[in-house]
Amino acid sequence: MSSSTSSSTHAYVSDPAPGTNRSPARPALPSSAGQLSLDGEWRFRLADSLEDVTADLGDPGLDDSRWDVIEVPSCWQMLGRPDEPRYGAPAYTNIRYPFPVDPPFVPEENPTGEYRRTFEVPAAFLADGRCLIRFEGVDSAFAVWCNGERIGDGKGSRLPTEFDLTPVLRAGTNQLAVRVHQWSSGSYLEDQDMWWVSGIFRSVRLLHRPSGGIDDVFVHADFDHESGLGRLRVDAPAGARLTCQELGLDSVDPAGPYELAVEPWTAETPRLYSLTIANDVERVEVRTGFRTIRIDDGQLLVNGVPVLLQGVNRHEWDPVTGRTLSEETMRRDIELMKQHNINAVRTSHYPPDARFLDLCDEYGLWVIDECDVETHGFVMNGWRHNPSDDPAWRDAYLDRMQRMVERDKNHPSIVFWSLGNESDTGANLAAMSEWTRRRDPGRPIHYEGNRECDYVDVYSKMYDPIDFVERVALGIDPPTDDPANDARRRSLPYLLVEYAHAMGNGPGGLAEYQALFDSHRRLIGGFIWEWIDHGVVLRQQTGPNAGQTYYGYGGDFGEPLHDRNFIADGLVLPDRTPSPALADYAQVIAPVRIVVDAGIVEVRSRLAFADTSHLAFRYYISDDGIDVQAGDLAVPAVAPGATVRVPMPTIELPPARSERWIRVEAVLADKTTWAPAGHRLAFGETQLTDVPVPQRPISTLPPPPTRRDPGSADRPFSIGPAEFDTRGRLVRLSGHAVSLVPDLWRATIDNDMYAGGQAVPTVWEPLGLHRLRHRVSHLSVDGDQLFVIIRSAGAATDQLIDTSLVWTAEADRLRLQTRFDLVGPWAGTIPRLGLRLSVPAAWNELTWFGLGPHETYADTRSGAWTSRFRASVDELQTPYTRPQENGQRSLVRHLELAADGTPALRIDADSPISVTYRPWSTEALEAARHTADLVPDPDRNWLHLDWAQHGVGSAACGPGVLPTHALTTNQVANAGFTLTFHPLTN
């Protein structure tokens, strides 16, 4: 069946040319013309290399009956996962090409998928006109045969390609064959930070194009904010007529232009109008929205109003199907975004499935539509031979831009065309920009790599730290290299097209960025990197969790070159469960800011177009975290950007004995397309009582004595409900085995171990904080009081920590006063400071009064509020794709452990502490590579009671923990807290 086909047969694979015999680029509009889906079952065979392909692939007589049958669209490396992977495996590299950089050539070991199927052409298709076959996405290069004729070939994976099959089609059964190569010259332009997967991964259709049909239209629907009128004109073939009942247009000349009373389209008010453009042979439908986009005086104006982009970078990914997404998954993404106040999406780093843009129009999101161009891997070689400035690649660049713009030009949601990502700079990018400006003057152009801003309309950057962003805002940032460009760049808006790298636990510091965006007009916002962890579903084969599914990342597929879990850096986990960071972001970018102060509830709108009549307000008053009064709060509709103040609700309660809080929530008054009525979008809270809530408690104990007596009791002893060994170490509480040691370490989070994309040893490694050894350096007993000092340090260092513990019996309770003193030349930061207890695993629930419901760290607290929360130990864990420190609850004043609802132990803190409760130790968490490696300890749970923990920051890519959220060693003087243990069971 296979033979060595001459290398010239495959010459197109390594030719930079974008394709042969393709039809001109255009959108596929919903139409009255006939179409036939070619999705579904295809015969398939995978050849390992070009040597092994089927010589007569296109031959209708070829017997393919013993070939496999697969579903199209799909990515062949994903088929059969997790249990029976069938064709190779995905591979992950971030920047590096997984093949030698020898453009435009690619290796002969070039996995090549061969697809065949037959189809019946309806007779009407052949009666007149043409029949086009349309591929919405094929990765990466492909050639097409129909009825034995080679039709053409194409590249540009995330872009549509059409071929004219008319000359070869016949009535009855037709034979189609497609050969798809994993690697091609096109791969050099598709070096995005994502899995390398291949195949016909988007839909395929046969489209009847009646002669004289409407192949293309370009709708220009502007909105004049001064007159309040829409202006409509449509480029359409001569003789076509335009109808829009709603606008009173009935079979009019599409060229117009028409001045019309319309409601404008915005991401907040996504008003669409259905247009029909028809002639005698065809009718096409376009949904349009009226809006005008302008860059003016350093701002992005839509309909004359400055817009702040609160966005997210979205790759297309599904852990089972890879880059082939169902419409349901696309809707899920958008609904989650809307539910979390996200108003913008950058289609990083390629045009998405076209249906996604339909949904953005419909639900309302500002879109940066990005072209399928990234040559990042050339940076590894100093950008030598980068295609971006090489005339040999000009057609390929231009072709990609043209295909994107022609496909997507009618989407009102698109506010920027983006030339691509991380391809340095060069004439080919400038040419893309120039062509686009001519074709669509209505949209500004984005590209982050054009630092000089001589061919873009926005000053776009990635991962700049706060202080740099502030300098830009104040106009004191460094000038462009070429002074001629400086004034222009300073006149452009500044956009952080990527910031806050959501890898693992984090990003921290969102609130600080948003405060800047909110207060400087030149800053038009940013896009979090990124939406989803691109995990690949796998199944654990051995051990106690055998059979459990988990999500793989780089290196899990034997890739010789890979970038580990840098692929897992999203706001949602691979199964689209929101990570705590999404809740944090939602509140940081909430549509209203709610402040309760001095008897007044202030509601400030952050919306640009809509008033707040879609919101209802509810208040909750709680005493010590328990709701004691709740009700509706009447807030008049707040105009965009305006502030309204209403009196606080009357409190019909006796004076509070402890902490009394009020929380006011803004929820959806009615259900929308993306969330049910009552869905919370924002909250504000304040304490009504005068109980201080310090961030960092101070120890009430004096410093430890300078002369230490190691001491020893001659027998184990007890104080109240607690039993200690002869060395003064806690061993039992009310008869339950427990233990307690000082702890300064956390399971390394991605932001601790990566810097600018590279894995580096944490700064804490030399201190040995992950392998502390402990010694009781003082022990004295005085009646019902025990005084212990534990001295701890890692091997080979004289940086020591003394933990003083004073245990006092108080009736059936036990009081523990603590104090932490660093001894020796400490400097810099430490990950955590506190106590780690082990307790019976049967205590499987935690109730706490503090911040919740989800995890919080010093710099990720915005989305959490003060209340009493309850969760099982399982629910307390955040299953980050690569296991790491997680699950902390902050500002905890009381906590209670219970066994299946039966209270076991209550702990009161004299001032707020941080609490982490888990079914495995920090060591086990650190050792785990995947979630399925984590096995609960059979009889122990681990309770961390921390004085503080270092913030999480965004150092994996971007700035680290801000000084205000750092745990520095010089803060440790007088650190400590007092706990009261109330054993509740025996």
| Residues noted as catalytic | 422, 498
Nearer Cβ to ligand GAL, position 64 or 191?
Answer: 191
Binding mask 437-476 for ligand GAL (x = CB under 6 A): -------------------------x--------------
Q: Which of 12, 67, 527, 529 binds ligand GAL (CB under 6 A)?
A: 529
598 burial class (0-12, 13-18, 19+ CB within 10 angstroms)? exposed
* Contact between 193 and ligand GAL per CB under 6 A: yes
Q: Which of 533, 569, 584, 743 binds ligand GAL (CB under 6 A)?
A: 569
How far is 498 from 882, CA to CA, in rounded Å? Answer: 22
* Contact between 422 and ligand GAL per CB under 6 A: yes
Nearer Cβ to ligand GAL, position 375 or 941?
Answer: 375
How far is 617 from 631, CA to CA, in rounded Å? Answer: 9
* Contact between 896 and ligand GAL per CB under 6 A: no
906 burial class (0-12, 13-18, 19+ CB within 10 angstroms)? middle
Binding mask 139-178 for ligand GAL (x = CB under 6 A): ----------------------------------------
How far is 570 from 503, CA to CA, in rounded Å? Answer: 6
Q: What residue is closest to ligand GAL based on CB?
A: 193
CA atoms within 13 A on the CB side of 387: 30
Q: Nearest approach, Cβ of 881 to ligand GAL (angstroms)?
A: 13
How far is 616 from 610, CA to CA, in rounded Å? Answer: 14
Q: Nearest approach, Cβ of 514 to ligand GAL (angstroms)?
A: 20
Q: How many residues bind ligand GAL (CB under 6 A)?
A: 12
Q: Nearest approach, Cβ of 193 to ligand GAL (angstroms)?
A: 3
Residue 569 has φ and ψ, to the nearest 5°, of: -140, 45
One DSSP character per residue, 357-371 reads HHHHHHHT-EEEEE-
Omega of the bond prior to 465 within 30 degrees of 0, cis? no
3-class SS of residue 756:
coil
Q: Nearest approach, Cβ of 424 to ligand GAL (angstroms)?
A: 12
Contacts of residue 48, defined as CB under 8 A and 6 or more positions apart, other chains included, come to: 109, 111, 112
* Contact between 72 and ligand GAL per CB under 6 A: no
Nearer Cβ to ligand GAL, position 201 or 529?
Answer: 529
How far is 263 from 275, CA to CA, in rounded Å? Answer: 15
Q: Contact at 8 Å (CB) between 893 and 758?
A: no
Nearer Cβ to ligand GAL, position 333 or 370?
Answer: 370
Q: Contact at 8 Å (CB) between 944 and 743?
A: yes
* Contact between 423 and ligand GAL per CB under 6 A: no
Q: Nearest approach, Cβ of 453 to ligand GAL (angstroms)?
A: 18
Nearer Cβ to ligand GAL, position 190 or 422?
Answer: 422
Nearer Cβ to ligand GAL, position 291 or 376?
Answer: 376
Nearer Cβ to ligand GAL, position 460 or 922?
Answer: 460
Contacts of residue 65, defined as CB under 8 A and 6 or more positions apart, other chains included, come to: none
Binding mask 925-964 for ligand GAL (x = CB under 6 A): --------------------------------x-------
Binding mask 83-122 for ligand GAL (x = CB under 6 A): -----------x----------------------------
Give the 3-state DSSP-derived string for 623-687, with helices as H, strands as E and coil as C.
ECCEEEEEEEECCCCCCCCCEEEEECCCCCCCCCCCCEEEEEEEEECCCCCCCCCCCEEEEEEEE
Query: To 10 degrees, what angle do helices 466-474 and 510-519 make?
Result: 0
Nearer Cβ to ligand GAL, position 321 or 418?
Answer: 418
User: Please, which residues bridge with residue 622 across strands?
Assistant: 627, 661
Q: Nearest approach, Cβ of 313 to ligand GAL (angstroms)?
A: 7
Q: Nearest approach, Cβ of 463 to ligand GAL (angstroms)?
A: 7
Q: Nearest approach, Cβ of 568 to ligand GAL (angstroms)?
A: 10
* Contact between 750 and ligand GAL per CB under 6 A: no
**Looking up tokens 């009493």, which residue turns up?**
868
Q: Nearest approach, Cβ of 448 to ligand GAL (angstroms)?
A: 8
Nearer Cβ to ligand GAL, position 720 or 959?
Answer: 959
334 burial class (0-12, 13-18, 19+ CB within 10 angstroms)? buried
Nearer Cβ to ligand GAL, position 215 or 498?
Answer: 498
How far is 448 from 436, CA to CA, in rounded Å? Answer: 16
Nearer Cβ to ligand GAL, position 406 or 422?
Answer: 422
* Contact between 370 and ligand GAL per CB under 6 A: no
Write b or e for each residue in 83-104: b if 16 or more Cβ atoms lie within 10 A of its Cβ, otherwise e.
eebebbbbbbbbbebbbebebb
Q: With DSSP H G I counted as helix, E B as strand and the rest as coil, what are the percentages for the chain, rounded to 5?
A: 15, 40, 45
Q: Nearest approach, Cβ of 124 to ligand GAL (angstroms)?
A: 46
Q: Nearest approach, Cβ of 462 to ligand GAL (angstroms)?
A: 6
* Contact between 498 and ligand GAL per CB under 6 A: yes
Residue type, 832: R
**Token pair belonging to 645:** 């103040």
* Contact between 421 and ligand GAL per CB under 6 A: yes
Binding mask 306-345 for ligand GAL (x = CB under 6 A): ----------------------------------------
Neighbours of 731 (CB within 10 A): 16
Per CB under 6 A, residues contacting ligand GAL are: 94, 193, 349, 421-422, 462, 498, 501, 529, 566, 569, 957
